[in-house]
Each structure stands twice: as structure tokens, then as C-alpha cells.
Chains A and B, each alone.
Chain A
Amino acid sequence: MTDEWHWDDESIAAPEELYRHVPRKPNQRKRVDPITGEWSLTAAAFTTDEMQEDGWSIYRNGLMYQHGVTQADIESSGDEPREVWGFQVVDVRDVDGCGVIDQEDPAGGMLGRAHGLVRCSEPKPEKKKIVTLRNNLINRATPR
């Protein structure tokens, strides 16, 4: 066991798809663009609390394929219905000092083996950095 902080795994390719699960609740997504009416993730989908606790939870497409799980497995996991939004590893690394690691969720069964975290180079990054990353991911994330 080591206390070293892991925040990016360079073996994870930049174009790889990451899937963020959000509760199917109106407070997590909303038709906020009054020009297009398009749905978009909001600040509630990437809270500073979750980032400062351990990182933002994601599932990695390559590991999902490897372990035979699908987006439908993400949607049906947990206690309440979820929906899946996707972005790429490069969208995270676009922000200096931000990256992606694999971190199995032992309680998540086969799906848990595809689990990872979006993290920053510091365990408790400053809010400006979290918000910079969040703004980029909200701009890039699309529903899957």
C-alpha cells in the first residue's frame, strides 16, 4: 500500500471514450440553451465535493469492451435510473494537470472492473482548476 497520488495513466489513449453516469434527475441535466433547446450537463454533474473527495467517477470504454459490459449496464446500475454522457480522455488532459486512472469499484461486479476516475495532480485541487475542467467537460460531453 502506498500513499502516492495517482492522477493520470499515460497508457490510456487520448481518443478513448469515457462515460459519466448521472442520475436521471432534472437537477443533473436541463434544457438550458434557449437558442437550440439542447440538453446539457450542468454544474451538478461534476461537483467540487466529489472531485476533492476522490475524483469524478467514470467508466472507460476499452475496459467495458474487455469485460463485456455495455452502456445499458451503467444505466441500470445503482439505486436509481441513470443516464450516460460521454467525452474523451483528451478532453480531460486538455486542462493542465488533469488526467484519468483506472480504479476498480469492488462493489460494482463486472461493471466495476471498467471503473476509473478523472483526477487532478493534487488530491484536493483548488476550485478554479476544478471549474476549468468542469467547463471543458460540460462543453464536450454528449448524451450516449
Chain B
Amino acid sequence: MRRVEAGGTVSSRVRLTGARRQLKNVLDAIGRIRSVYPFIADDGAGGVFAEWKAVGQRIEIVIEQDLSAYASISDNGETVWFFEFDPNEKLPFDEAQRLRQVLNNHSIIVNRLNPQWRRLFTAG
């Protein structure tokens, strides 16, 4: 996982550490070995997010500084799915399945159109 920088106070570092751990749990639940890597970063407000974006589709999972969480899927800017969840709990089966399927289809398209996509994540 990309290193996430916690800014400011000790308490915000603690929260961000918790958010990172919870985000990793979600990614473990939906990812597969051939999944395209997400872009992972802090949001500058004490939260952390993972995001995929290709061919007009954008998938995001956000854990906010107050440890609330949500996921969304959009196509060409139009939000087609939004789901709020408790990151302390296991992601509900139906929602996890939906994210898994969408990410899998997303990854199949990316792998087909640009088999060299991993290079984009290693450039300085």
C-alpha cells in the first residue's frame, strides 16, 4: 500500500492509521490478483481513499477522518451507485459482491486495452 502521510497532530495520525487499516480490509475483500492497482492517498483532511479511473469509469472507496465510510461508482461523471458503510464491520455481502464484480470488469478492460498499465504506477 502506498505510504500515507498523516499531517498535524498525534491524534490525527492515530485516526489515519485506523483509516488505513480499514481501507486495507475493504481492498482485501474486493480485490483479486489481477485487479488493477488503485491510487491510494490521504484526503488532506485526516481520511484516506482508494480510487480507480479508466475509460470513463471511476470507482472510489473513502474512509473519512471520523471513520465513516462510503463507496461510489460513476460512469462519465454520473453517479450510478453509492453506498455508506461502517468500516468497523465486515462489508455486507451484496455490496462487496457488487464492488468485486465492477472492479473485476474494470480490470479486464484495462488489461485488454493496456497490458503495460503497471508501468504507470512505477514512473517517478
**A residues at B contact (CB < 8 Å):** 23, 26-28, 30-35, 37, 40, 42-44, 47-50, 127-128, 131-132, 135-140
Contact of A127 among B5, B39, B84 (CB under 8 A): B84
Write the B33-48 contact mask toward A (1 if CB under 8 angstroms, else 0).
Answer: 0001001011111010
A136 touches B77 (CB 8 A): yes
Pairs across A and B, CB under 8 Å, 29 listed: A26-B41, A27-B43, A31-B120, A31-B123, A32-B51, A33-B53, A34-B36, A34-B54, A34-B114, A34-B120, A34-B121, A35-B54, A35-B55, A35-B114, A37-B120, A40-B53, A44-B41, A44-B43, A47-B44, A47-B45, A127-B84, A128-B70, A128-B79, A132-B79, A135-B58, A136-B77, A136-B79, A138-B58, A139-B74
Contact of B39 among A23, A32, A49 (CB under 8 A): A32
B65 CB contacts on chain A under 8 angstroms: 49
CA distance A138 to B49 in the complex (A): 15
A43 touches B74 (CB 8 A): no
**B residues at A contact (CB < 8 Å):** 5, 36, 39, 41-45, 47, 49, 51-56, 58, 60, 62, 64-65, 68, 70, 72, 74, 76-79, 82, 84, 110, 113-114, 117, 120-121, 123
B114 CB contacts on chain A under 8 angstroms: 34-35
Which residue on B lies nearest to A95, using beta carbons?
A: B79
Known: A47-B45, A131-B79. A42 touches B51 (CB 8 A): yes
Which residue on A lies nearest to B72, using beta carbons?
A: A131
A135 CB contacts on chain B under 8 angstroms: 58, 72, 74, 77-79
